């Protein structure tokens, strides 16, 4: 497996160093893959694959890890990426599939689907953080890839903006959970909503905090049913 970080990437190579090293080895086009929503307890996991053109640094303004950009700037960078990308694709894995597979397996599955949905097979794939077997092409996992690799940073922005838009839509359907604010991640406000209303079908039931909220909700319902039954029995006696 190719290891560009050891052999050909200088510390000052910048965000495009990995792609340039792979291009020099004849391994273009290079696809970057990243996901958004892995740590959330509600909503989907979104995986994106992006192929940027050579010289793309002059066409994309503030390209960086999506978590380091404001929501407004992410939207601008998202538009820049889609305007210059040679190819891009997104895969949305809903909460029920995450519960069925587990988040890590669902993540790897999403990476495979994203690469497979590109209009042509890339010459190489760079992923963020951990390796993904079964991509059908050589790949390297890059530690903090969304911070140091241009195409992975682009994938992180595309995945994040796509997921945020989904969560904003879910907010309209489930306003009591305030998904537009916390995007399904664990916050004090989200925990309070879970305690008050229990989980909805967009929550990941395999997550400990969601399962606990469901147990507490069912317990409260059982108490209500029991009290109602006792009151009815007393009144009819």
Residues 87 and 190 in one domain: no
Residues 157 and 186 in one domain: no
Q: What is the tally of structural domains in the chain?
A: 2
Indicate which CATH number applies to the domain containing 55: 3.30.420.10
Residues ≥6 apart with Cβ < 8 Å to 99: 204, 205, 206
pLDDT tens for 84-112 read 999 999 999 999 999 999 999 999 999 99
What mean pLDDT is predicted for residues 122-135? Answer: 95
pLDDT band for 67, please (50, 70, 90 cuts).
confident
Residues 167 and 181 in one domain: no
Which pairing describes strands 87-93 and 45-51: parallel, antiparallel, or unpaired?
antiparallel
Residues 215 and 158 in one domain: no
pLDDT value of residue 63: 79
Tell which phi-psi region holds residue 129, choosing left (phi > 0), alpha (psi between -120 and 50) or beta: left
Residues 229 and 142 in one domain: no
- Domain residues for the domain of 201 are 175-236
pLDDT band for 222, please (50, 70, 90 cuts).
low
Residues 193 and 153 in one domain: no
Residues 120/145, Cβ–Cβ less than 8 Å:
no
Which pairing describes strands 124-128 and 139-142: parallel, antiparallel, or unpaired?
parallel
Residues ≥6 apart with Cβ < 8 Å to 85: 50, 51, 52, 53, 154
pLDDT band for 218, please (50, 70, 90 cuts).
confident
Among 173, 192, 210, where does a domain finish? 173
Among 147, 173, 199, where does a domain finish? 173
Residues 179 and 157 in one domain: no
- Residue 237 CA to residue 224 CA, distance in Å, equals 20
Residues 117 and 82 in one domain: yes
pLDDT > 80? residue 122: yes
Residues 164 and 208 in one domain: no
pTM of the model: 0.87
Residues 11 and 87 in one domain: yes
Question: Which range has the worst mean pLDDT, 11-15, 51-55, 105-109?
Answer: 11-15
């Amino acid at each position: 497996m190719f290891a560009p970080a050891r052999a050909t990437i200088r510390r000052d190579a910048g965000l495009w160093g990995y792609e340039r090293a792979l291009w020099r080895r004849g391994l273009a086009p290079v696809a970057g893959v990243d996901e958004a929503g892995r740590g959330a307890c509600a909503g989907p996991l979104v995986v994106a694959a992006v192929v940027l053109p050579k010289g793309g640094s002059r066409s994309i303004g503030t390209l960086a890890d999506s978590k380091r950009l404001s929501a407004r700037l992410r939207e601008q960078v998202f538009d820049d990426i889609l305007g210059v990308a040679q190819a891009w694709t997104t895969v949305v894995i809903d909460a029920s599939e995450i519960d069925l597979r587990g988040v890590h397996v669902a993540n790897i599955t999403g990476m495979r689907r994203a690469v497979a949905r590109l209009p042509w097979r890339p010459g190489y794939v760079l992923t963020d953080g951990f390796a993904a077997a079964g991509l059908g092409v050589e790949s390297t996992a890059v530690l903090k890839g969304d911070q140091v690799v241009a195409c992975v940073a682009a994938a992180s922005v595309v995945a994040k903006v796509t997921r945020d838009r989904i969560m904003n839509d879910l907010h309209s359907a489930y306003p009591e959970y305030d998904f537009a604010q916390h995007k399904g991640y664990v916050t004090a406000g989200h925990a309070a909503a879970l305690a008050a209303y229990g989980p909805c079908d967009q929550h990941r039931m395999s997550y400990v905090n969601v399962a606990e909220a469901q147990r507490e909700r069912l317990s409260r319902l059982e108490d209500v049913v029991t009290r109602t039954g006792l009151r009815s029995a007393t009144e009819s006696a």
